[in-house]
Amino acid sequence: MKILHTSDWHIGHQVSGIDRYDEYELFFEWLRKQIEKEKIDVLLISGDIFDIYNPSYLAEEQYFNFLASLSGKLRKVIIIGGNHDSPKTLEAPKEVLKSINVDIISGAKNNYKKIIDFEDFQILAVSYLRENILKEKNEDLLKAIEKIYDINANKPVIAMGHLSVYGASFGGGERDIYIGKIEAIPSNVFEKFSYTALGHIHKYQEIKDNIIYSGSPLQMAFDEDYDKKIVIIDTENWQKKLINVPRFRKFIKLKGNFETVYKKISEISEEYNKYMLNVEKKDLKPFIEIEFSDNVSSEDIESIKTSAENLYILKIKLPLNFSDVNNIDVKKISFEEIIRNLFEDEEDLDEIIKIITEIKTEIKEEK
């Protein structure tokens, strides 16, 4: 049988408040074609289905439409919740989705682990594990995790998880996740499995030959400037096949003085305009981040923006003037102004607010 491993979709993700629904539609269309082309039997999605605890109506609609479109195309879809996912959101349609062979392991107290049996192998699906669940197993959280991943099987086992394993390196757009005080799990927890399909890290990597992060299919941040992948496992020989996901939108970082940046922006804009003339379906505007090496005037910045009217300039960084920082009188400045001086732009502030909101929501759900 053929298994497709993917994770960290983050449906509903925004960049500087810009929705990415068109990108997700292109990705889902491409993924459906891969499932048909490769004759996939089982689809594994290892957590972080949504970007936030309370996804928008459109994000949920995309999720349900994609799952419905797979009906009859493969034997099973297995989805585990991640740290970005609300167990309640994933849990609500669980029984309905069973009718189209979709199994949801949401991360709720009564639904954080499931064993799915196939003729020649088993799948041990474990969601992102929250501290309150683990403490019911053992006060020693690592021992509790080991107990959850313990399985007596007389055939190969594929494990699923959403967590950090020692030896993994972040891909750029993730944030640390702790289970109690545990920041990562030793890889030996997973050595007994024929394959471990992990989520949370956005960059494809092999911790060991059988312990794999598929990475996120879409670029989540400017730092994630590398090929995105899906993984296909053939259970006959346990060989892996990697397929690169197309880049549906460009993330471009530009550095230099005004003349260098202006020239490059003009070239990108001209290239984009030519491309648009030759495609039936409109492409997605590139995301641009600019870091100037020298100070520039407000007039120069406006001329850059004018030359890039068909692009998204999301961030403009200017050289830090330490004399300005040293002249801040903390006794006379408001808390909000201090925060705005610490962070570069609204995107950073939005991310802080999003994290705080998710933490509050998760605390309420755990009570």
**What confidence tens digit (pLDDT) does each residue in 239-255 have?**
999 999 999 999 999 99
- The pLDDT value given to residue 219: 96
Rg of the chain in Å (alpha carbons) = 23
SS3 139: coil
Token pair in block for residue 183: 């920041």
pLDDT for the residue 318: 87
- pLDDT of 328 > 70? The answer is no
Say how far apart CA 352 and CA 128 lie, in whole Å: 22
Residue ending a domain, among 221, 245, 269, is: 245
Q: What is the mean pLDDT of residues 304-332?
A: 71
Residue 237 shares a structural domain with residue 273: no
For residue 367, the model assigns a pLDDT of 55
| Half-sphere exposure of residue 196: CA atoms within 13 angstroms, side-chain side | 26
User: Which among 195, 207, 187, 206 is positioned nearest to 236, based on CA atoms?
Assistant: 195
Mean pLDDT within 259-275:
88
Contacts of 270 (CB under 8 A, 6+ apart): none
pLDDT at 348 over 80: no
Predicted confidence (pLDDT) at residue 306 exceeds the cutoff of 90: no
274 and 206 in a common domain = no
Q: What is the mean pLDDT of residues 313-334?
A: 64
Q: What's the rounded mean pLDDT across residues 73-100?
A: 96
Measured between alpha carbons, how far is residue 344 from residues 58, 281, 328, 341, 354 in Å?
30, 35, 16, 7, 16
The values of phi and psi at residue 293, to 5°, are -85, -20
**301 and 318 belong to one structural domain:** yes
CB-CB contact of 15 with 250 (8 Å)? no
Statement to judge: residues 55 and 185 lie in one domain: yes
Q: Give the span between the Cα atoms of 134 and 146, in whole angstroms.
A: 10
Q: Are residues 326 and 224 in the same domain?
A: no
**pLDDT over 70 for what percent of the chain?**
85
DSSP, collapsed to helix, strand or coil, labels residue 324 as helix
Domain final position from 225, 245, 265: 245
Q: Which domain holds residue 103?
A: 2-245
- CB neighbours of residue 363 within 10 Å: 9
Which H helix or E strand runs over 24?
Answer: helix 21-37
Q: In terms of domains, do 137 and 217 share one? A: yes
Same-domain status, 27 and 152: yes
Indicate if 221 and 359 belong to the same structural domain.
Answer: no
pLDDT of 330 reads 47
Higher-pLDDT residue of 365, 147: 147
Whether 323 shows a pLDDT value over 60: the answer reads no
Residue 20 has pLDDT above 80, yes or no: yes
Mean pLDDT of the chain: 88
Judgement on whether residues 164 and 270 belong to the same structural domain of the protein: no
Residues 287 and 318 in one domain: yes
pLDDT score of 180: 76
Closest CA to 286 of 13, 59, 103, 20: 20
Structural domain total, the chain:
2
Do residue 36 and residue 180 come from a single domain?
yes
φ and ψ at residue 298, rounded to 5 degrees: -65, -30
Torsion of CA 99, 104, 110, 116, to 10 degrees: 80
Residue 152 belongs to domain with CATH number: 3.60.21.10
Last residue of one domain, picked from the residues 245, 271, 306: 245
Which among 145-159, 163-177, 285-299, 300-314 has the top mean pLDDT? 145-159
| pTM as predicted | 0.86
Q: Say if residue 346's pLDDT is above 50.
A: yes
**What Å distances lie between residue 150 and 118, 124, 192, 193, 236, CA to CA?**
18, 9, 10, 10, 24
**Amino acid present at 288:** I
Q: Are 245 and 203 in contact, with CB atoms under 8 Å apart?
A: no
Residue scoring higher pLDDT (200 or 173)? 200
Token code pair at residue 309:
């009217």
What are the tokens at 314? 């999301």
169 and 291 in a single domain? The answer is no
Running DSSP on this structure, what letter comes out for residue 38? T
Amino acid identity, residue 220? M
